[in-house]
Amino acid sequence: MVQTISEKFLRYIMIQVSIRYVIRESMVLKFYNWRGQ
| pLDDT given at position 16 | 98
d(CA 5, CA 16): 16
| pLDDT given at position 14 | 97
d(CA 33, CA 28): 9
Q: Mind listing the pLDDT tens digit of every residue in the chain (37 residues)? A: 577 889 999 999 999 999 999 999 999 999 888 887 7
| pLDDT given at position 34 | 86
| pLDDT given at position 1 | 59
